[in-house]
Amino acid sequence: MNWFVNTLGTSIGKKLMMAFTGLCFCGFLVVHLAGNLTLYGGKDFFNGYVAHLHSYGPLINVAELILLTLAIIHVLTGTFLFFGNLSARPKRYAVNKSAGGRTIGSATMPYTGFLMLIFIIFHLFNFHFADHATQTVFDIVSNAFAAGGYVTIYIISMVIVAIHVSHGFWSAFQTLGANHPKYMPLIQGLGTAFSLIVGIGFGFIPIYVFTA
Amino acid sequence: MRLDAKMPGGPLEKKWDKHRFELKLVNPANKRKFNIIVVGTGLAGGSAAATLAELGYNVKNFCIQDSPRRAHSIAAQGGINAAKNYTNEGDSIWRLFYDTVKGGDFRAREANVYRLAQVSNNIIDQCVAQGVPFARDYGGLLANRSFGGAQVSRTFYARGQTGQQLLLGAYSSLSRQIAAGKVEMFPRREMLDLVVINGQARGIVVRNLITGEIENHEAHAVVLCTGGYGNVFFLSTNAMASNVTAAYRAYKRGAFFANPCFTQIHPTCIPVHGDYQSKLTLMSESLRNDGRVWVPKKPGDKRPPHQIPESERDYYLENKYPSFGNLVPRDVASRNAKEQCDMGKGAGETGLAVYLDFEDAIKRDGKDVIEKKYGNLFQMYEKITDQNPYETPMMIFPAVHYTMGGLWVDYNLMSTVDGLFVLGEANFSDHGANRLGASALMQGLADGYFVIPYTIGGYLTGTSLPDVGTDHPAFRDAAGQARSRINKLLSVKGKRTVDDFHRELGLIMWDHCGMGRNDEGLRKAKKMIQELRGEFWENVLVPGSDGDFNQSLERAGRVADFLEFSELMIRDALDRRESCGGHFNEAFQTEENEAMRDDENFCHVAAWEYAGDDKEPEFHKEPLVFENVELTQRSYK
Amino acid sequence: MTTAKTINLTLKVWRQKGPKDKGKFETYQAKAIPTDMSFLEMLDVVNEQLTLEGKEPIAFDHDCREGICGMCGTVVNGRAHGPEKGTTLCQLHMRRFSDGDTIAIEPWRAMAFKVVKDLVVDRSAFDKLIQAGGYVSVNAGGAQDANSLPISQEFAEKSMDAAACIGCGACVASCPNASAMLFVGAKVSQLALLPQGRPEAAQRALSMVRKMDELGFGNCTNERECEAECPKEISISNIARLNREFLKAGLFSSVK
């Protein structure tokens, strides 16, 4: 398996890992969002969905483990790439100006990524590691989003996620080599749409809960 | 000394085969015992270094730029000729040979040119195998276009970047040999002298342009591929670093310089537009495939081109040369442009330009087709002039482009110094008095890929080459001279910059030894050059030190050599009492202002031998014998 | 040609004696610069002036001055080769600037491109990349007839698009990560698109990428600055092709 490590250890190999894990997270976001949308169906509908999810038992644990592994790979590789890129230009330019290639998303990837990591930890403590014995998930959500501060944090975080995904989505395809004159515009459009859906889809939930 | 071109006997078509058979071979195991120095990494140098290394020789390769990929061959735009006859127009090796000899105004060696035409086909095969992305037809086969001086389409091309692609092909082969350890590459080195020991070229002295260090390199043979001397005119299409120093140093060490007055003025360049200008930009000759050259019929007509009606335009090339039209050879096109401007019919503010108009081509083929063919050239033109050639005709004027003259070589490409081989533009051999378009790339690669690999073996086996080291007195002597010259340049500390002198020299040469020459002007120029040279050594200002990256010092050394070499050009021009190709002496012209050769007295190569700084060079004559083509007045009518 | 208009400029030029020197910006005035002049000719004028004042002229690389040799290049006001799209520095003309402008001129900055002097950098890393596999292994002499393998016009054109690279280093200079992916992608693509380059495609992709990492270039984060600054406008689709070729070579070919 030496060849495998050698391949993934190169700069492109690392990028391939980022792209692959990133796309997995995009998939996760779709599932997560779909589940969260059941909130709009009311308390019982939502708690029913949660119960259904939990009925998978150990499968959920496996899924969590996979997500955790992907996250570790994504974060560690991203950190390596970030510092590698810094040292590739030890002396910076006095004047910096974009030629028009960069976007807010692309220019801020490591930073939005870092903020997302903090948010995810925060988010897990809020919901995942919260007391599930005395309250339903719906209660946890309604309690949390009753506070204006929480709502603000979540909305800002969702904007950050959208920015991260706006570059990450098409960039993953490019890194995997899927750049075709016929399909690339579609992928880029899809990336923008996806970032908007994720941002708005997740971002409106705290507002909905807060105002409900 | 009688010049012996070592021409093989027998019929023209058999000479090269016969010669290759007669050349002694070097046993593959013995090749690794020979070290060869190749100076230059252009089409000739790059291909020679790569090929010699592939054969097993140890090669040391030098270039002046930071990378071998940047040699000035890279700027060749239009294409490369070959006698493939893929277009079924009746082309053949013989026709390519004939066109080239005729295009050169019958001042090249028949056997050399025939060999060039023979190997032209191998070059295309080799380049395609290297991954050179030549233009292709819809069916996937190679495309051709036509060039000046030919009535068949035999020019292979890669957009307007053929030189670049061919050079990168050679560079990739070279890189492969560097990786294999067979070529040791020395970038940012300038050759300052040739080391001759017992009459054999055994090494070179170079300056490391980064550290300023003088280095000695030893070998069993030296191959010079250092390009032409067009920059003697200051303004030319050459790169800024192109220079005569390596060739001129070899000349001073005993290599004869042949036909130095044969310089090519390219007809389609962007006109001069200011005193500060540093170089002239060529617009590929391929543009003349579709562009029509014209001037206003009335002298002094300063109306913008679109206001001049068709009936008041003079398509002088089409009118004067109906069968070749806009595709006459370069010397003819240039001279006619000058003639029109001299009559006051020139375009633009300076009156030193003619129009190259694509209006009809765009009407005929559509903008898309023209853009596909010449897009990058049009873009380049617009960047420089701020005018859009799709809408308004280009303005062009002749500029110094190529030098047919160069170090004299025999059929083996060896100079008059044993073991010193000269390839590509640096030698004089294949283009006579005028080079046809798309032939320079052909010659550079022919010399490097397919001639030197055989002929150098013949020299190395048949010659006794005793061991010499870089501690040999000849090395110490040459390096010492190089150092003292550098110190001399730095110690003048005068008031005029190097470029200032160079610019003045260029003007003298352009005015008196350019497109049109006459005895009076040439004599005047000679005197002016001598005076300028005197002033240079008393008043030049070279800043900085020798132990450093010092671009002013680099240029100073080159200009110092140009200041001597230019006199040799003038001497040669005065001596050739005829007009031929790029050498046009106004006293020798036909009634229709065409160049008038004197085949009886000047059907020869003029080779000059250095006789000392204060002495006139010695003249040697190599008669040119034409057994296969009939010498005629060139006609493109 | 338009009648020469002239402008006055303030230049802030990076001066550095050698690789070990710290370097700093120096300010120079460039007076009465005709707008028809090229950027390098403007530097020539400043250098003539410096020489006459007894100062050392600014060292900068340049050669063909027609946009093809790839020798020139500096960062002008934060942009590699200056503000004009698809242009090398030598092809940039002063009509792109206005009277009174201040222009900051810096060398290419990257770990893999050390400063030699002032604006001159060492780009030998690019040569090493080509030596690592940017070639087809054919010796002179053995090639078959050039027309024996038809190549579709589409592939020949795409290959030529990639082959247009002049090796100037603007991609590395403009990349926020100083990555050489566009340079490597262009060479790998040029050869991968042609049947002549296919036999060694896997080995080439692996070797060139490994060499690229070894030389200290950064990683590509698909910011597209290289494509936007490339004087030959080489597309990042070539980077995608490199990724593809590398993925195939690394995971699915037998080449190690």
Own/partner contacts of B11-15, CB < 8 Å, gap of 24 or more, are: B12/B110, B12/B111, B12/B114, B12/B627, B12/B628, B13/B114, B15/B111, B15/B114, B15/B115
Q: How many residues are recorded in chain A?
A: 212
Residues B168-206: tens digit of each pLDDT: 999 999 999 999 999 999 999 999 999 999 999 999 999
φ/ψ of A56, rounded to 5, equals: -70, -15
Q: Which has the minimum average pLDDT: B145-159, B210-224, B524-538?
A: B145-159
CA distance C157 to C190: 10
* Residues in chain C, pLDDT under 50: 1-2
Rounded alpha-carbon distances, angstroms, from residue B273 to B188, B335, B426, B508: 32, 20, 30, 18
Chain C contact for A4, CB < 8 A?
yes
Using CB atoms, pick whichever of A85, A92, A177 lies closest to residue C243. Answer: A177
Mean pLDDT of A80-99: 97
**Does the distance separating the beta carbons of B70 and C70 come in below 8 Å?**
yes
| pLDDT band, very low/low/confident/very high, at B91 (cuts 50, 70, 90) | very high
Chain C contact for A102, CB < 8 A?
yes
> Which amino acid belongs to residue B199?
G
Mean pLDDT of B400-424: 98
pLDDT of A1 over the 80 cut: no
Q: Which residue of C has its CA nearest to B167?
A: C69
Cα dihedral across residues C176, C182, C185, C189: positive or negative: positive
**Does the distance separating the beta carbons of B380 and C117 come in below 8 Å?**
no
The active-site residue out of B330, B335, B533, B634 is B330
φ/ψ of B123, rounded to 5, equals: -65, -45
Chain A residues in contact with C225 (beta carbon < 8 A): 98-99, 101-102
Starting at the earlier edge strand, list the strands of the sheet with B604-609: B406-407, B257-258, B604-609, B618-623
Active site residue B330: yes
In this structure, how many other beta carbons lie within 10 angstroms of the beta carbon of residue A192?
15
Chain A residues in contact with C206 (beta carbon < 8 A): 7
CATH class of B266-400: alpha beta
Chain A residues in contact with C174 (beta carbon < 8 A): 99
Residues of B (394-423) whose Cβ lies below 8 Å from C:
395
pLDDT of B589 over the 90 cut: yes
What are the strands, taking DSSP E only, across C115-200? 115-117, 120-121
Domains belonging to chain A, first-starting first, are: 12-88+109-211 (1.20.1300.10)
Using CB atoms, pick whichever of C3, C87, C145 lies closest to residue B383. Answer: C87
Residues of A (104-143) whose Cβ lies below 8 Å from C:
106-107, 109
Chain C contact for B304, CB < 8 A?
no
Chain A residues in contact with C112 (beta carbon < 8 A): 88
pLDDT of B7 over the 70 cut: yes
CA distance B403 to B229: 6
**Does the distance separating the beta carbons of A89 and C110 come in below 8 Å?**
yes
**Does the distance separating the beta carbons of C145 and B125 come in below 8 Å?**
yes
φ/ψ of B36, rounded to 5, equals: -125, 135
CATH class of B30-264+402-461: alpha beta
Chain B residues in contact with C144 (beta carbon < 8 A): 125, 129
Share of chain B above pLDDT 70, in %: 100
In this prediction, residue C4 carries a pLDDT of 63
Give the minimum alpha-carbon distance from A74 to chain C in angstroms, rounded to a whole number.
14
DSSP conformation letters of B315-333: -HHHHH-TTTGGG--HHHH
**Does the distance separating the beta carbons of C228 and A175 come in below 8 Å?**
no
**Does the distance separating the beta carbons of C78 and A96 come in below 8 Å?**
yes
Cα dihedral across residues B138, B141, B142, B144: positive or negative: negative
Strand partners, B215: B206
CA distance B447 to B40: 13
Q: How far apart are the first and last CA of chain A?
A: 55
DSSP conformation letters of C68-132: -S-----EETTEET-SSTT--GGG-BGGGS-TT-EEEEE---BTTB-EEETTEE--HHHHHHHHT
In this prediction, residue B506 carries a pLDDT of 97
Q: Which chains touch A (3 or more CB pairs under 8 A)?
A: C
Contact B173, B453 (CB under 8 A): no
Residues B200-259: tens digit of each pLDDT: 999 999 999 999 999 999 999 999 999 999 999 999 999 999 999 999 999 999 999 999
In this prediction, residue B482 carries a pLDDT of 98
| pLDDT band, very low/low/confident/very high, at A19 (cuts 50, 70, 90) | very high
**Does the distance separating the beta carbons of C93 and B384 come in below 8 Å?**
yes
What ipTM does the predicted assembly reach? 0.97
Chain B contact for C126, CB < 8 A?
yes
DSSP conformation letters of A87-131: HT-SS--SS----S---HHHHTHHHHHHHHHHHHHHHIIIIITS-
In this structure, how many other beta carbons lie within 10 angstroms of the beta carbon of residue C95?
14
Two tokens, residue C15: 């001066």
Query: CATH number of C6-106: 3.10.20.30, 3.30.565.10, 3.30.420.40, 3.90.1640.10?
Result: 3.10.20.30
In this prediction, residue C3 carries a pLDDT of 52
In this prediction, residue B1 carries a pLDDT of 63
pLDDT of B637 over the 90 cut: no
Q: What is the mean pLDDT of chain A?
A: 95
Domain limits, chain B? 30-264+402-461, 266-400, 473-608
Side-chain-side CA neighbours of B166 within 13 Å: the count stands at: 38
In this prediction, residue A168 carries a pLDDT of 97
Two tokens, residue C163: 């082959």
Contact C226, C165 (CB under 8 A): no
Q: What is the mean pLDDT of chain B?
A: 96
CA distance B360 to B455: 50
Q: Which chains touch C (3 or more CB pairs under 8 A)?
A: A, B
Range C123-137+150-252 has CATH code 3.40.140.10: no
The boundaries of every CATH 3.10.20.30 domain in chain C are 6-106
Contact B421, B194 (CB under 8 A): no
Residues of C (203-222) whose Cβ lies below 8 Å from B:
none
Residues C108-151: tens digit of each pLDDT: 999 999 999 999 999 999 999 999 999 999 999 989 999 999 99
In this prediction, residue B148 carries a pLDDT of 84
**Overall fold of domain B473-608:** Methane Monooxygenase Hydroxylase; Chain G, domain 1 (1.20.58)
